[in-house]
C-alpha cells in the first residue's frame, strides 16, 4: 500500500509539485493491527506519525470478559514489530552515519546488532502469527503440515530407537542418601493435559508439537499413580495431597488426617488424635530447611496438606469454621503461623492475604477489599513478632515482584511472600511489572537459593495450582499454558541443583476429564478443530473436549465464528455433560522423578507410596536408620562452598558440581540487620508497599535484569564482568536509539489480561 493518499489535483500545480516531490510529506496511512485477545483484524486510519487526527475519536475500547468466577479486562500494550524495529534502527543509524565518522562506526554496528536482537522477539508474536494464519474473517483455512522427509525412511526410526536404547543402558540408579527433595505438583495435571501441553509447547516453538518434550518429561523414572480417596472413587485435592505428603490415604475433603476423620467432623480432639505428619515435619526434625511455593492461596488444599489438620479443606479462615463445634478448632491460616511444621517453614510464598488480617484491614492490593478474619488477628504481624521472639532476625516479608527480587537470598533465613488477595493470577494474566506478582519460576528460584544455604539440606514443595482452576472452567488453552509454566519452573530448578544429591519429583494430585479426539492430522493446532464434523449438527468440533463442565451449550455454538472462535485464548471447550463447574477425573496420573532412589518409582502404585520413597531417600521419619542412611566423609567434613555463576549451569547430568551451595555461617543468623518499624498494628504498618524486610533488602522497584522466561534462568548472584557490560550496553543502546529515531514505526496492538476489582 502506498504511503501517500492520492488526491485529484489540477495540472497547474503538477509542475511545482514535481519540483518539490522529495519534500512532500505523507498525509495519511492505513494501518492494519492485530488484536491478540479477540483474534480479529481491524484497521485504523492514522497519520504516519502515529498520532490521531484532530477530532478523531479513539477506536480502542476496554473489552470486558465475564466468567462465573472473575471479571477480566483487556489492557492494551504496544510492542514493536520486527520489521518496523529493524527499519527504525537502520534509518536512525543512517542519520547518525551522515553526522559522525571514525569512532562512531563501531558503536553504530553494535547498536544495529543489539537493537535487531532486542526487537526480534515478543512472547506473544509467534502465537499471534499462528492464530492469524489459522483464521481470517471467520473462514477456517485448511492446515497443511510439512513433514520431515527423514521420518518417511525406516532408518530414521531405527536410529532413533537405537539412540534411546543406548541412553537407557548407560543410565545407572543413584542409591545414596538424598540431601535435598523438590516436589512439584501440577494440580489437575492429567496425562491428557501433559500430552496436549507438550504439543502446544512445540507449536509455540514452530514445531508440529507431537515430537516435543516438556522439561519434566526428561526425568528418567516414570510410574503411574492411583488417586482414589478412602471413600471416593473420584478424588479431591485435599485427600490426594495428604496421601502424597504424609503416606496415608484420607477421606474426601479432609486434610492431614487419617481415615478415622470424615468430612465435617466437629470433634476437634478427634481431629488432633488422628492427625498425620508430613514429609515437611520429618525434614524439620532432621534439621533440614523447608518451604512451600504455590500460585494458589497458601491455605488452599494442596499446600495446606503439608502443615494443617482439619476435617474440611474449606476451613482456610476462621470465618469458614462452623460455630457448632464442640470446642474451637484452629483454621488453616492460624495453623500455618502458630503450629508446627507451618511455623518453622523457612519459605512461604503464594496468594491468599485475605485470611491473614481482620475485617477492619484494607488489602493494599488492587482489589481494595477488606480482610476476612472475624477475630481481627493480623497473622502477618504475628509471624514477624514470632521471628523476633525466636531471635530469628534474618527474615523478610514481601508482597510484589520487586520486593521479592530485592531480597538478599544469601542473608535471609525466613521469607513470607503473599502476593495476592486470593489466588494468584494465571500466567497469561499476570501483571509482570515490579508492582505485580512473580512467576512460579521466579518464586522457585528464590526459594531454592534461600533453602540451599542449610548444610543439612532442604525439602521444597512447589504447586502449579491454576492448572486445575482452568480445567474447572473448561478453558483448556489456559490450563495448557499453566502446565507449560510449571515445566519452566522444573527447568529452572534443575539448573540450580545437583541431581546427584537431590531427588526431584513431578506429579499430579488428580486428573481432569480432558480428551484429545477427532483424528486430527499431524501438526494440527491442538487448540483448533478436528478434521470431521458432528453428525447431528454438522458443526465442526475441537480436538480438545471435556467430559463435563460449563462448556456444554444447547444449542452448541459454531466454534469458527465471532466470539466463539477457538482462536480466542479463553475459548471455553465443549463439554458432554453440563455442570456449573467441571468435576475431576478418577484416572491414574503420572509421576516423573530423577535423583537418589528415583528408580523406586516404577509400575503402578498407590498415591500414598510416594511419601515413603521420599522419606526413604532422605532418611527421615520411619526410615532414618536404614543401611544407606549415613553421610560420606566428604559430606560430613566438607563445608559448603561459595556459589559462583557456573553452579547454575553445571551438574545437570549428575557429574558436575552444579549445586547451589554457599558457605554456611551460623553467626550470620544473628548478624546486624536494620529493623523495620512494624510495631504498629494498623494500615500504616503494612502500607501500600505492604513489604517488610529485616534482611537489609533494597526495595528499589527498578531492575536491569529481565524476568525469567521459557528458555533461560536468570543468574542473579554471580554475574561476570562481561554480563555487567552487556547490561549497561543494552541500556546505552536503547537510549541512543531513542535519539536516533527519524520516523514513527508501525505498531502491533497486543493485549494482556489483568484481574479487576
Which tens digit of pLDDT belongs to each residue from 60-73?
333 333 333 333 33
**Mean pLDDT, residues 723-745:** 56
Write the DSSP string, 231-293: S-SS--HHHHHHHHHHS----TT-BSB-TTS-TT---HHHHHHTB---HHHHHHHTT-EEEEE
User: Residue 324: what pLDDT?
Assistant: 77
**Mean pLDDT, residues 582-611:** 98
Residue with more model confidence, 41 or 598 = 598
**Mean pLDDT, residues 680-703:** 39
User: Residue 352: what pLDDT?
Assistant: 98
Known binding residues:
187, 300, 302, 463, 468, 472, 509-510, 584
User: Residue 562: what pLDDT?
Assistant: 62
Residues of the chain above pLDDT 90, percent? 57
In tens, the pLDDT along 130-186 reads 333 333 333 344 455 666 788 999 999 999 999 999 999 999 999 999 999 999 999
SS3 18: helix
Residue with more model confidence, 17 or 224 = 224
Measured on CA atoms in the order 11, 16, 22, 28, is the torsion positive or negative? negative
In tens, the pLDDT along 301-338 reads 999 999 999 999 999 999 999 987 777 899 999 999 99
237 is catalytic: yes
Side-chain-side CA neighbours of 732 within 13 Å: the count stands at 10
In tens, the pLDDT along 368-389 reads 899 999 999 999 999 999 999 9
User: Residue 148: what pLDDT?
Assistant: 79
Known binding residues for Zn(2+):
187, 468, 472, 509-510, 584
Q: What is the mean pLDDT of the chain?
A: 75
Pick the CATH number of 227-509+588-630 from 3.30.43.10, 3.40.190.10, 3.40.720.10, 3.30.70.1560: 3.40.720.10
Pairwise CA distance, residues 68 & 475, whole Å: 12
Pairwise CA distance, residues 195 & 719, whole Å: 37
Q: Is the pLDDT of residue 752 over 90?
A: no
**Mean pLDDT, residues 562-574:** 79
Q: Exactly one of 38, 89, 192, 237 is catalytic; which is it?
A: 237
In tens, the pLDDT along 492-540 reads 999 999 999 999 999 999 999 999 998 889 999 999 998 888 888 888 8
| Dihedral angle computed from the Cα positions of residues 91, 97, 100 and 102, in that order, rounded to the nearest 10 degrees | 140
In tens, the pLDDT along 185-209 reads 999 999 999 999 999 999 999 999 9
Please name the helix (run of DSSP H) or strand (run of DSSP E) that holds residue 203, with its range, or none: helix 191-203
Q: With beta carbons less than 8 A apart as the criterion, state whether 115 and 89 touch.
A: yes
Position 581 confidence tier, pLDDT thresholds 50, 70, 90: very high
Pairing of strands 139-140, 135-136: antiparallel
Known binding residues for Mg(2+):
187, 300, 302, 463
Range among 292-306, 527-541, 623-637 rated most confident: 292-306
Buried b (16+ CB within 10 A) or exposed e, 259-288: eebbbebeebebbeebbbbbbbbbbbebeb
C-alpha cell at 412: 535471609
Three-class secondary structure assignment of 589-626: EEEEEECECHHHCCCEEECCHHHHHHHHHHCCHHHCCC
Q: With beta carbons less than 8 A apart as the criterion, state whether 91 and 743 touch.
A: yes
DSSP code, position 377: -
Q: Please work out, in degrees rounded to the nearest 5, the angle formed at the alpha carbon of residue 580 by the alpha carbons of 574 and 586.
A: 75
Position 734 confidence tier, pLDDT thresholds 50, 70, 90: low
Pairwise CA distance, residues 575 & 155, whole Å: 42
Angle formed by the axes of helices 476-494 and 191-203, to 10°?
A: 80
Pairwise CA distance, residues 240 & 611, whole Å: 12
Q: Is the pLDDT of residue 402 over 90?
A: yes
Cα-flanking dihedrals φ and ψ of residue 749, to 5°? -95, 130
Cα-flanking dihedrals φ and ψ of residue 350, to 5°? 170, -155
Q: Is the pLDDT of residue 742 over 70?
A: no
Pairing of strands 64-66, 289-297: unpaired
Position 564 confidence tier, pLDDT thresholds 50, 70, 90: low
In this prediction the pTM is 0.69
C-alpha cell at 704: 536491569
Q: Is the pLDDT of residue 218 over 50?
A: yes
Angle formed by the axes of helices 237-246 and 609-618, to 10°?
A: 30
CA distances to 204, 209, 701 from 732, in Å? 32, 39, 20
Amino acid at each position: 500500500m502506498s504511503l501517500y493518499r492520492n488526491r485529484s489535483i489540477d495540472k497547474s500545480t503538477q509542475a511545482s509539485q514535481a519540483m518539490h516531490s522529495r519534500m512532500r510529506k505523507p498525509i495519511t496511512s492505513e494501518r492494519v493491527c492485530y488484536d491478540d485477545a479477540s483474534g480479529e483484524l481491524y484497521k485504523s486510519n492514522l497519520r504516519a506519525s502515529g498520532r490521531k487526527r484532530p477530532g478523531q475519536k479513539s477506536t480502542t475500547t476496554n473489552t470486558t470478559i465475564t466468567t462465573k468466577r472473575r471479571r477480566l479486562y483487556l489492557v492494551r500494550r504496544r510492542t514493536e514489530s520486527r520489521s518496523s524495529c529493524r527499519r527504525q534502527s537502520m534509518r536512525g543509524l543512517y542519520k547518525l552515519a551522515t553526522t559522525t565518522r571514525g569512532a562512531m562506526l563501531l558503536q553504530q554496528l553494535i547498536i544495529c546488532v543489539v537493537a535487531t536482537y532486542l526487537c526480534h522477539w515478543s512472547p506473544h508474536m509467534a502465537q499471534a502469527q499462528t492464530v492469524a494464519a489459522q483464521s481470517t474473517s471467520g473462514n477456517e483455512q485448511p492446515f497443511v503440515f510439512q513433514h520431515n522427509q527423514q521420518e518417511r525412511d525406516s532408518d530414521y526410526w531405527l536410529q532413533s530407537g537405537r539412540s534411546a536404547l543406548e541412553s537407557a543402558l548407560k543410565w545407572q540408579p543413584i542409591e545414596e542418601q538424598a540431601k535435598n527433595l523438590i516436589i512439584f505438583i501440577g494440580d489437575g495435571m492429567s496425562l491428557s493435559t501433559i500430552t496436549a501441553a507438550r504439543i502446544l509447547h512445540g507449536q509455540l516453538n514452530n514445531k508440529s508439537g507431537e515430537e516435543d518434550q516438556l522439561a519434566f518429561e526428561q526425568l528418567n523414572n516414570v510410574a503411574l499413580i492411583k488417586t482414589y480417596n478412602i471413600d471416593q472413587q473420584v478424588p479431591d485435592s485435599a485427600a490426594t495431597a495428604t496421601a502424597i505428603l504424609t503416606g496415608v490415604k484420607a477421606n474426601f475433603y479432609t486434610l492431614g488426617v487419617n481415615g478415622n476423620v470424615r468430612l465435617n467432623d466437629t470433634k476437634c480432639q478427634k481431629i488432633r488424635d488422628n492427625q498425620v505428619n508430613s514429609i515437611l515435619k520429618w525434614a524439620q526434625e532432621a534439621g533440614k530447611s523447608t518451604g512451600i511455593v504455590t500460585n494458589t492461596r497458601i491455605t488452599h488444599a494442596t499446600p495446606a496438606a503439608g502443615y494443617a489438620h482439619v476435617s474440611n479443606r474449606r476451613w482456610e479462615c476462621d470465618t469458614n469454621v462452623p460455630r457448632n463445634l464442640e470446642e474451637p478448632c484452629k483454621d488453616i491460616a492460624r495453623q500455618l503461623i502458630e503450629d508446627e511444621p507451618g511455623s518453622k517453614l523457612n519459605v512461604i510464598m503464594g496468594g491468599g492475604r485475605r485470611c491473614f488480617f481482620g475485617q477492619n484491614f484494607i488489602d493494599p492490593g488492587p482489589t481494595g477489599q477488606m480482610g476476612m478474619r472475624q477475630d481481627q488477628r493480623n497473622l502477618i504481624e504475628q509471624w514477624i513478632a514470632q521471628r523476633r521472639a525466636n531471635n530469628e532476625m534474618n527474615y523478610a516479608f514481601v508482597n510484589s515482584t520487586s520486593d521479592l527480587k530485592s531480597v538478599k537470598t544469601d542473608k535471609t533465613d525466613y521469607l513470607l511472600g503473599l502476593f495476592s488477595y486470593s489466588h494468584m493470577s494465571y500466567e497469561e494474566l499476570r501483571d509482570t511489572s515490579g508492582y505485580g506478582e512473580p512467576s512460579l519460576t521466579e518464586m522457585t528460584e528464590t526459594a531454592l537459593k534461600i533453602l540451599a544455604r542449610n548444610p543439612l539440606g532442604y525439602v521444597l514443595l512447589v504447586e502449579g495450582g491454576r492448572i486445575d482452576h482452568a480445567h474447572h472452567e473448561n478453558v483448556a488453552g489456559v490450563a495448557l499454558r499453566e502446565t507449560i509454566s510449571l515445566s519452566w519452573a522444573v527447568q529452572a530448578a534443575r539448573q540450580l541443583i545437583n541431581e546427584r544429591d537431590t531427588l526431584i519429583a513431578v506429579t499430579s494430585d488428580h486428573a481432569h476429564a480432558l480428551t484429545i479426539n477427532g483424528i486430527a492430522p499431524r501438526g494440527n493446532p491442538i487448540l483448533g478443530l478436528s478434521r470431521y464434523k458432528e453428525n447431528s449438527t454438522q458443526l465442526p468440533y475441537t480436538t480438545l473436549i471435556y467430559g463435563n463442565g460449563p462448556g456444554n451449550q444447547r444449542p452448541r455454538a459454531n466454534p469458527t465464528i465471532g466470539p466463539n472462535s477457538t482462536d480466542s485464548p479463553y475459548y471455553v471447550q465443549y463439554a458432554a455433560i453440563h455442570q456449573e463447574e467441571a468435576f475431576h477425573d478418577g484416572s491414574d496420573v503420572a509421576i516423573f522423578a530423577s535423583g537418589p532412589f528415583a528408580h523406586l518409582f516404577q509400575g503402578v502404585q498407590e498415591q500414598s507410596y510416594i511419601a515413603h520413597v521420599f522419606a526413604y531417600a532422605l532418611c527421615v521419619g520411619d526410615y532414618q536408620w536404614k543401611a544407606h542412611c549415613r553421610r560420606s566423609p566428604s559430606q560430613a567434613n566438607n563445608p559448603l562452598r561459595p556459589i559462583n555463576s557456573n553452579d547454575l549451569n553445571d551438574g545437570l547430568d549428575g557429574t558436575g558440581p552444579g549445586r547451589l551451595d554457599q558457605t554456611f555461617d551460623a553467626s550470620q543468623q544473628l548478624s546486624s540487620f536494620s529493623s523495620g518499624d512494624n510495631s504498629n498494628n494498623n494500615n500504616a504498618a503494612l502500607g501500600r508497599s505492604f513489604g517488610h524486610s529485616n534482611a537489609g533488602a533494597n526495595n528499589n522497584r527498578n531492575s536491569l535484569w529481565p524476568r525469567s522466561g521459557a528458555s533461560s534462568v536468570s543468574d542473579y548472584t554471580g554475574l561476570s564482568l562481561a554480563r555487567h557490560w552487556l547490561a549497561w550496553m543494552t541500556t546505552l543502546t536503547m537510549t541512543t536509539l531513542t535519539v536516533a529515531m527519524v520516523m514513527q514505526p508501525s505498531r502491533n496492538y497486543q493485549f494482556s489480561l489483568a484481574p479487576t476489582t
